[in-house]
A = this chain, B = another copy of it.
Amino acid sequence: LTSDELFAHIVTTDELLVATGDQGWLTGMLDVEAALARAEAAVGVIPAGAAEAISAACRPDGFDAAEIGRAARGGGNPVIPLVARLTDAVPSEARDYVHWGATSQDILDTAAVLVARRAGGLIAADLERLAASCAALAERHRATVMTGRTLLQPALPITFGLKAAGWLAAVTDCRHALDAALSGLAAQLGGAAGTLASFGPDGPAVLAAFASELGLPEPVMPWHSSRQRMAALAGALGMAAGTASKISGDIALLMQQEVREAAEPAGPGRGASSTLPQKRNPVGAAAVGAAARRAIALVGLFYEGLAGEHERHLVSWPVEWQSLGDLLALAGGAVARTAETVEGLEVDAGVMAQRTEDLAGALLSERLNLVLAGRMGRSAARTAVTEAGRKAGDTDAAAFAEALLSDPDVAAVLTRAEADDLLDPTGYLGANDVWIDRALARHNAADGL
């Protein structure tokens, strides 16, 4: 709601706050009224002079969002007072043509589309930045061996490049989804009940001209009570937010003092504590995670909002207004801050390598298991390997090899040299490079988005 400066900058960017706040909406609504007038003049519905006068008056600096917002309480939406102010602002001969034939929802819906496309452009650019950073990490660290972890426990060796490639693939999905959702956002013009009756036979031509003025696609028919476009957009934004949260969450876990394999970028005041001088908090992950969770809580409103009454929804429609702005600002904020984190990410390849060595016994036990299965049978192999693991604990290659070879049945089929070789993490990375290459290729192919 209004006046949240204390917290807003933590979760989003100035550009998004402007694009999704009063300024963004006011500009959007005025751009729509101007385009409507010009379209009507083009089709011959109103005089060209009136359209010029209206278009000229549609400049945000002539309007006071707070005053209009207060006046909106009576009629339930800000278009009513905006049209009154705009009518006052044009020369008398143009007055009768302001907002001609449109309904409040035509203006607000199309303004919402403009807000979404402008903020969406910022988000798309930040997704691109994030993708580029992930791609760079995937490339640079394709041979940086680290511990792969499933269910928060060490599993197999991977590379940090593979982890980054996974992030990249996810971000590329988000770029495609956002692009599709934004492209689907069509102009809205239907008049009071969707028939454009006040234009007589000219309705469809006015809609076409109006959409063209704004560079928006034309819908099959007005969508006042068909909000599928908005739900799809909300879904795409939820996907971007959740993906940002995944990446920043992984980094926070890697940044734990007990893990220390990567860290958010340092800098003056970054991650400082109000009491503990030594502390470095993963504040990026906190901010991103919080923005994402709040964004995702809003996504459901748009799916619920598909249901509503007849030719215009009583409740679902006003639910969308601030929810859309907040969702754009929060999802976009999550993406932007994650991009910032990944760009400056501190990766400690030494710690990664050391831990992989320290845990080689555990991380490679699948491999030993498979090799021994071929020599002793699967069940005997599993028993032997599990038993060695139990004896040696989470331990390095040497200790594990020793424990394993202390079993005479194993020693009968496996030499120590073989064991040492099999326990080298860099030799058990499977399709690591293939996946990285494929993720990079798809990223490169997405460059045109």
Chain B proximity of A410: nearest CB distance (Å): 13
In whole angstroms, how far apart are the Cα atoms of A198 and B226 in the complex? 44
| A210: Cβ under 8 A from any B Cβ | no
In this complex, which of A25, A255, A286 has the most chain B Cβ atoms within 10 angstroms of its Cβ?
A: A286
For A, the interface residue count at a CB cutoff of 8 angstroms equals 184
B contact residues around A257 at 8 Å (CB) = 153-154, 359, 362, 394
B contact residues around A428 at 8 Å (CB) = 195, 197
In whole angstroms, how far apart are the Cα atoms of A435 and B141 in the complex? 48
Find out whether the CB atom of B194 lies under 8 angstroms from the CB atom of A325: no
Find out whether the CB atom of B276 lies under 8 angstroms from the CB atom of A155: yes
B contact residues around A322 at 8 Å (CB) = 4, 7-8, 11, 294
B contact residues around A432 at 8 Å (CB) = 195
| A22: Cβ under 8 A from any B Cβ | yes
Find out whether the CB atom of B225 lies under 8 angstroms from the CB atom of A166: yes
> With contacts A148-B194, A386-B277 known, is A69 near B303, CB below 8 A?
no
CB 8 Å contact bits of A162-199 with B (1 = contact, 0 = none)? 11011001100110010000000000000111111111
| A211: Cβ under 8 A from any B Cβ | no
| A136: Cβ under 8 A from any B Cβ | no
CB contacts under 8 Å to B, within A1-25, are 1-12, 17, 20-23, 25
Interface 9-mer from A34-42, A365-373, A413-421: A365-373
> With contacts A309-B149, A311-B155 known, is A169 near B221, CB below 8 A?
yes
Q: Which of B165, B170, B221, B286 contacts A439 (CB 8 A)?
A: B221
| A243: Cβ under 8 A from any B Cβ | yes
Q: Which of B11, B80, B156 contacts A272 (CB 8 A)?
A: B80
Chain A interface secondary structure, helix, strand, loop or mixed? Answer: helix
B contact residues around A68 at 8 Å (CB) = 5-6
> With contacts A76-B283, A270-B75 known, is A70 near B162, CB below 8 A?
no
| A135: Cβ under 8 A from any B Cβ | no
Copies of this chain, how many? 4
Find out whether the CB atom of A220 lies under 8 angstroms from the CB atom of B169: yes
Q: Which of B69, B170, B259 contacts A9 (CB 8 A)?
A: B69
Chain B proximity of A103: nearest CB distance (Å): 5
In this complex, which of A69, A152, A203, A268 has the most chain B Cβ atoms within 10 angstroms of its Cβ?
A: A152
Find out whether the CB atom of B238 lies under 8 angstroms from the CB atom of A378: no
Find out whether the CB atom of A10 lies under 8 angstroms from the CB atom of B73: yes
Find out whether the CB atom of B303 lies under 8 angstroms from the CB atom of A76: no
In whole angstroms, how far apart are the Cα atoms of A257 and B394 in the complex? 8
> With contacts A102-B275, A289-B314 known, is A3 near B6, CB below 8 A?
no
| A258: Cβ under 8 A from any B Cβ | yes
Find out whether the CB atom of A326 lies under 8 angstroms from the CB atom of B1: yes
Q: Which of B71, B231, B287, B325 contacts A4 (CB 8 A)?
A: B325
CB contacts under 8 Å to B, within A97-111, are 99, 101-105
Find out whether the CB atom of A220 lies under 8 angstroms from the CB atom of B442: yes
| A235: Cβ under 8 A from any B Cβ | yes
Find out whether the CB atom of B310 lies under 8 angstroms from the CB atom of A149: yes
| A273: Cβ under 8 A from any B Cβ | yes
In whole angstroms, how far apart are the Cα atoms of A224 and B435 in the complex? 13
**Can you list 16 A-B contacts (CB < 8 A)?**
A1-B330, A6-B22, A75-B270, A152-B252, A157-B193, A170-B226, A194-B435, A198-B430, A221-B438, A245-B307, A276-B365, A282-B314, A285-B314, A289-B307, A299-B299, A299-B303
Extra pairs beyond A10-B72, A220-B439, A294-B319 (10, CB < 8 Å): A7-B69, A150-B281, A151-B314, A152-B255, A152-B314, A156-B197, A197-B366, A239-B303, A258-B258, A278-B389
